[in-house]
Structure 1
Amino acid sequence: MKTTFLKLFVLLFSTALFSQAGHIMQGVGSVNMSMGGAATAQPLDISGALHWNPAALSTFNDKIIRFDIGLFFSSPELSSSLPSGALWQAGDFGPGSPASPSVFGSTKDDRGLSPMPALAMVWGKEDSKHTFGASAFGISGFGVTFPQETNLPMDELGNPNMNWNPNNSNPINWPQSLRGFGHIESDYMLLQVSGTWAYEITSNLSIGIQPNINYAALELAPNPLASPDFPPEMGGTGKGYPTSDKASAIGYGAQFGIFYDSGNGIKLGASYKTAQTFQEFEFNNTYLDGSAAPNVNFQMDYPAIMSLGLGYSAGQIDFALDFRRVMYEDTEGFEASGWEFADNGFPTGAVNGFGWKNMSIISAGLQYKGINKLPLRIGYTYSSNPIDEDLAFFSTPATAIIKNAYQFGLSYEINDTWRFDSVYHYGTSGDATQGQILDPSQISPNNPLGAIPGTTVSYDMTTSMIMVGLNYTFNKKIDN
């Protein structure tokens, strides 16, 4: 029975989670999301405090439990192009190849809706300096499902397709036999389970600490972390890149925070989440023809995050502003980039890592409490793009980059113990992330990444979500 419950719990919290700021969730729960994710110095609910600043948990003096569930929809679109003649430049498809005009096409993701749950609980007392909390949040994820292109210049034997339309054909999704990736699918999630302790040093100043245990799962098709079986002209049999099974890993880390409430409306907060260090993913790989492929290991940690917050409350208004710095450049799996090389100096075709840059996030939110039992909130989140243009090709399976996110939320205070929360989110990537198609067979001293001249690969996306939550306060004390 316990094993069955544990499996259901992990399934619920790991179904498919998608983030907006790199692969970082911009917020957790209905209230925090509606404030744009800002909570480091303005803890309006326990989920936001637990996620962004454990010290801010000291502001809650009751026993509280809350659960949120959202339905998330993303619409990534992957595009690529080849200039005239690039079919020959990229590998010479041989006799029977059609004339090689310029080619362009786009592929839309067909993944659909994904659930996003969050569970939090806090134990606090009015006369105690100690506050404790526990949480289970999906804090990170990305995933795409791009089907294989069907409008092709030729079949696998090189026979030309007379009905081919080069203006509506996405070469990056051509089958691997035509030097594309075929069907592209990725699925990554990170569940973080935390215990939190906050301590009031004075009535105005608190500190907090939060140890974290993390569970991550990753699946890739094809798996670019594995060496492909190159075509015969390159010494292989032409099986291409393999597909991986879903691999999992356990990670550990912590978060530390400090929170100051001046008592006159101004609040300050800061927190530091250490890098969450994971075991290696152990991928079992299979070629498209069903034969076994060499297995590979890959370590992908979660980056350290520094958060600074400003809060202000006056009358019916609560304002929150957070600045975050995400340290991708020091994170295993994200700091490395480019192709892997064998001992003989030749590229294996395996990818070393994403090569992401550090990124900045600004979150802002405003709550208005002038309507009885119906507080209203608006939020905005800005995220810089961690993907370098030269390395954009390597992030094709992880396109969840949202530059601008907008939120509107509200709560309804049913009674002294129950509160209903909701939020609507809409995000856009702004300008598309764009680079060149890279091919390890094209690597040279003057072209270390194997960029194919004149080619492009780009992706952009929009996101939308509806989330609702219930907040229950045990034995709430009513002021006289």
Structure 2
Amino acid sequence: MKNFIFTFCALFISTATFSQAGHIMQGVGSVNMSMGGAATAQPLDISGALHWNPATISAFDEDIIKLDIGLFFSSPELSSTVPEFDGQGQPTGNFYSGTTEDDRGVSPMPALAAVWSKPDSKHTFGASAFGISGFGVTFPESMTNPINMPQANGGFGRIESDYMLFQIGLAWAYEITDQFSFGLQPTFNYAALELMPNPTANPNQAGYPSTNKASAFGFGGQIGLFYSSKVGFKAGVSYKTTQYFGDFELDNTYLDGSQSSNNFNMDYPAILSFGVGYSLGTIDFALDYRMVDYENTDGFSSVGWTETASVAGFGWENITIISTGIQYKGINKFPIRVGYTYSSNPINSDVAFFNIPATAIIKNAFQVGLSYQVSDRFQLDILYHYGSSGDATSGPVLNPMFIQNSPPYGAIPSSEVSYEMTTSMLGFGASLKL
């Protein structure tokens, strides 16, 4: 019984991949990230414009290409407390507690964007290739944390997961008037997923399996409107549809060497963004408000156990994101930016176990960046980001065998799992006007 409970605990830590993929990165590229991700109505660079509002690329009247690379590092800590049970399934009064730190290291986040336009044309075209999500966890084996104890001791040992989402967009913007633009952008996606273990598969007597790396393709779109007055005020709105993916076809290998396969569908949520901006002299200000629709997204909308003890979904609620930033251009050739991002938490405590750990709980993010204008046509950018989850997300350990006494998910009495983390990123970018 004790081994079965520990196996369940370890299993759902591997959902970190899903939780981190669900998190909406607050920006794309060094310039946009340093503005807190705000760009729906303040297009300071083409990467932020293409990602958040395709209508804003009408603000650029030259051919521009931009390349960014971000070096992303997260420091999650996983803690657990579980009761010990005797041979009859009764608690003994003893508990196992411990904490494990992730040792995954650095993950690269690339971004490539281009815009084509002419000063006398009402049409602007753009293309982008962004890594909009790409994280994972590596929790090493531990003798002090029950979840990560070796299998011989009732735990699950090392837990590892990988997920990446790569998106290509083709944008078109049209200037309806000198101040008002419309934009449209179809998007095409590729995702890859690997889990150890796989909670979406049915367990056998040996527990839950690990998977090979599976891939899936997806598609979606984005539309936007952008208004830029002649006195510095700007406003914008954009809607990015759900990115609809095909199923991940997961080939599983169980602890006893047996094999199976299962399919799992996980889409990327729709995002509605509103933004305002203001530019006056040496100051550019931006403020965005976003609503992220997890509650109608496959892979996140369902919650709980299936009849065969696999996971039906992760039960996320919709979230709001507030992004703001300011740029100061008073220093010759060295514009400086600071930004802040706030995100609400999509995970309630009663389903925290299904979602530990999850980068979606990054509550506060702070950014600072600057650029060096090498010439009228070439610019270099640098960024530093720091994020914190604030309070830890926590909840009881869940087990379907306890559902009868503790509905609806089977919370184990006196148990707890909790997770908190910080993130940091160093970004570099370069843009060239052709």
Q: What's the TM-score once normalised by structure 2's chain length?
A: 0.93
Residue of structure 1 in register with 2:27 after alignment: 27
1:279 aligns with 2:272: no
Rounded Cα–Cα distance in structure 2 between residues aligned with 1:88 and 1:386: 32
Q: Does 1:297 align with 2:294?
A: no
Q: CA deviation at 1:87?
A: 1.2
Q: Specify the alignment match of 2:340 in structure 1.
A: 380
Pick aligned residue for 1:130 from 116, 119, 123: 123
Aligned to 1:88: 85
User: For 1:438 and 1:19, how far apart are their aligned partners in 2?
Assistant: 17
Unaligned runs of 5+ in 2: 1-16
Match of 1:337 in 2: 303
Could you say which residue in structure 1 is the equivalent of 2:8? none
| Percentage of identical aligned residues | 64
Q: How many residue pairs are counted as aligned between the two chains?
A: 418
Match of 2:421 in 1: 461
Instruction: Work out whether residues 20 and 26 of structure 1, in 8 Å CA contact, stay in contact via their aligned partners in 2.
Output: no
Residues 19, 140 of structure 1: 8 Å contact kept: no
Alpha-carbon contact 2:139-2:159 (below 8 Å) kept: yes
What TM-score do you get using the length of structure 1 for normalisation?
0.84
Match of 1:349 among 309, 319, 323: 309
Amino acid at match of 2:122: K
Is 1:216 aligned with 2:182?
no
Q: State the alpha-carbon separation in 1 of the partners of residues 309 and 394 from structure 2.
A: 21
CA-CA distance at 1:181 after TM superposition: 3.7
1:43 paired with 2:9, answer no
Shift of 1:244: 0.7
Matched residues in 2 for 1:182 and 1:32: separation?
Answer: 40
Residue equivalent to 1:316: 282
Aligned counterpart, 1:429: 389
Matching residue within 264, 284, 289 for 2:231: 264
Which deviates more from structure 2 when the two are superposed, residues 134-143 or residues 365-374? 134-143
Larger Rg: 1 or 2? 1
CA–CA separation in structure 1 for the residues paired with 2:21 and 2:217: 23
CA contact (8 A) 1:310 1:322 kept: yes
Higher strand share: 2
Correspondence 1:7-406 to 2 at 5 A: 22-82=22-82, 86-88=83-85, 101-149=94-142, 151=143, 169-176=144-151, 180-229=155-204, 236=205, 239-289=206-256, 291-341=257-307, 348-396=308-356, 398-406=358-366
* Partner in structure 2 of residue 448 of structure 1: 408
- TM-aligned CA deviation for residue 140 of structure 1: 1.8
Tell me the C-alpha RMSD between the 2 structures: 1.9
Residues 2-24 of structure 1 show CA distances to partners (whole Å, capped at 9, x for unaligned) of xxxxxxxxxxxxxxx99979521
| Alpha-carbon shift at residue 180 of structure 1 (Å) | 3.7
Rounded to whole Å, the distance in 2 between the matches of 1:70 and 1:307 is 24
- Whether the 8 Å CA contact 2:216–2:246 is kept in 1: the answer is yes
Following the alignment from structure 2 to structure 1, what is the Cα–Cα distance between the partners of residues 119 and 226?
Answer: 17
Q: What's the CA shift for 1:171?
A: 1.8
Shift of 1:397: 5.2
Cα offsets for 1:187-231 (capped at 9, x unmatched): 1111000100000000000000000000011111110111111xx
Letter in 2 for 1:182: G
